[in-house]
Amino acid sequence: MSAPGYPVLLDLHGRRTLVVGGGPVAARRATGLLEAGATVDVVAPWLCEELAELVAEHRVSWQARDYAAGDIDGSWFVHTATGDPATDDAVAAAAEAAGTWCVRADDARRSAAWTPAVARGADGVVVAVSGGRDPGRARAIRDAVAAGLDTATLPVRRHRPVHRAAVGTVHLVGGGPGHDDLLTVRGRRLLATADVVVVDRLAPRGVLEHLAEDVEVVDCGKAPGHHQLTQDQINDVLVDRARRGLTVVRLKGGDPFVLGRGGEEALACRAAGVPVSVVPGVTSVVSVPAAAGIPVTHRGVSTSFALVSAHDGIDPVVRAAHEHASTTTLVLLMGIRLLRDSAAALVSAGRPSTTPVAVIERGWTPGQRTTVGTLADIAELAERRRVSSPAVVVVGDVVALRDRIGAQHPELP
């Protein structure tokens, strides 16, 4: 490249393209063309395994022979990667004569077009990088840009108004147990392109600071004894905003489908004809005990665990005690209000009163604190320490491992 190139993106969807060569480089070029929606023809006397798989899957067509004059006829774009300079010369010359762009894999200086290192983000963002004849530099810059796109540290939200679809999309995003950096990469990427964010009390609030000023934030604010929005109202907000053609992120604590009522929200969207996707999150069921140094399973101690919601009474706790072996770890969510009744019920159901119990408050936040006792005294200890929600209760011998493993997150005394 003797002078700066002219960057351009090609729409190859449904258009015929030609790849000459059957090796790994040709396979990469063919795969990239397929991802762009192109129709791909391959001319080569032999194929590497990856290209052979594409042929077997009928994703590309193959002419099992050497390149011949006329092969580029009707092609919009050509890649030549035979490894034979004479053949690549012939392909490039034919493409030049036909006015067809041709990329040579063997010698960029003799190409009429070049393939950059590409980073792709959400909502159609494509960043192409030329390294100035240095492919390693191009890849390094591409990887840095890709990391910024994935983690939403780059400003990828649209600034220019676009024609909105008649109906937008709702994304149910699990925010994890509370710490901002436990939100998934996909969750961050979707937040960066959202028009509306509907957020729970236990979702990672720090990520909201990075939203653009014109993003609407709807705070559900569910707290014990105080609901700013009912579940039906939340469903209505999701459907209403999506019907305006907006991209909606429903940011929830933990995982949307683990006692998060995400299923109800997904059904409400489907019933209203609104597209909905689910992005899993790190659930507090296992992550909050982990923050306190407690694995919910451990070889030789417990090979299973059961999740129990104690929100609506102790009956689910009693059933879990009867249905699972005494070695099964029980993890109680929303169990602080009925902690005394639950502990007594577990003892009545056959669990030894000496069974270790841990209550972890506000896991993965600066206010994390763990109270450890047994079924016999945990309720009294919790009252004495004024334990409050949100908290996760772990019942089982795995609690004893905490002293050996140690808390994974700083705790209050």
pLDDT tens-digit readout, 248-270? 999 999 999 999 899 999 999 99
Tokens of 374: 């047994």
Name the nearest CA neighbour of 351 among 360, 342, 340, 338. Answer: 342
Residue spans of the domains in the chain: they are: 1-115, 116-150, 169-282, 285-405
**pLDDT for 222 beyond 60:** no
Choice between 154 and 378, residue whose per-residue pLDDT is larger: 378
Residue range 169-282 in CATH 3.40.1010.10: yes
Query: From the candidates 150, 195, 200, 255, which is the catalytic residue?
Result: 200
Q: Would you call the peptide bond into 390 cis, given omega within 30 degrees of 0 as the criterion? A: yes
Q: What is the mean pLDDT of the chain?
A: 90
pTM above 0.85, yes or no: no
Answer yes or no: is pLDDT of 283 > 80.
Answer: yes
Contacts of 72 (CB under 8 A, 6+ apart): 18, 78, 91, 94, 95, 98, 100, 102
**Does the pLDDT value for residue 3 go beyond 60?**
no
Pick the more confident residue, 161 or 50: 50
Greatest mean pLDDT range, 149-158, 198-207, 387-396: 387-396
- Among 33-47, 155-169, 189-203, the range scoring the smallest mean pLDDT is 155-169
Tell the burial category of 241 from Cβ atoms under 10 Å away from its Cβ (0-12, 13-18, 19+).
buried
Active site residue 252: no
**Is the pLDDT reported for residue 1 higher than 70?**
no
Among 370, 377, 366, CA closest to 399: 370
Whole-angstrom distance, CA of residue 384 vs CA of residue 369:
14
Q: Hey, is 18 helix, strand or coil?
A: strand
Helix, strand, coil percentages for the chain (3-state, nearest 5): 35, 20, 45
Distance CA 387, CA 399 (A): 18
Section 354-370 average pLDDT: 95
Among 91-100, 143-152, 232-241, 285-294, which stretch is predicted with the lowest mean pLDDT? 143-152
329-333 and 391-395 strand pairing: antiparallel
- Rounded distance between C-alpha atoms, residue 101 and residue 111, angstroms: 9
pLDDT of 159: 67
The whole-number pLDDT of residue 368 equals 95
Confidence of residue 124 (pLDDT cuts 50, 70, 90): confident
> Which of 45-49, 149-153, 230-234 comes out lowest in average pLDDT?
149-153
CA distances from 293 to 204, 290, 397, 412 (A): 21, 5, 13, 14
**Residue 170, by phi and psi: left (phi above 0), alpha (psi -120 to 50) or beta?**
beta
Q: Which residue has the tokens 């009693």?
A: 318
With the CA atoms of 307, 409, 210 and 191 taken in that order, what torsion angle do they form, in degrees rounded to the nearest 10?
-30
In sequence order, what DSSP letters do the residues of 168-204 get, joined into one string?
Answer: -EEEEEE-BSS-GGGS-HHHHHHHHT-SEEEE-TTS-
Q: Is there a catalytic annotation at residue 200?
A: yes
Name 210's Cβ contacts closer than 8 Å, sequence gap at least 6.
Answer: 152, 191, 192
Neighbours of 320 (CB within 10 A): 23
- 219, 222, 240, 397: the active-site residue: 222
Q: 1-115: what CATH class? A: alpha beta
**Superfamily grouping for domain 285-405:** Tetrapyrrole methylase, C-terminal domain (3.30.950.10)
- The residue with tokens 């209550």 is 359
Q: What integer is the mean pLDDT of 52-79? A: 95
> Average pLDDT in the 358-375 region?
95
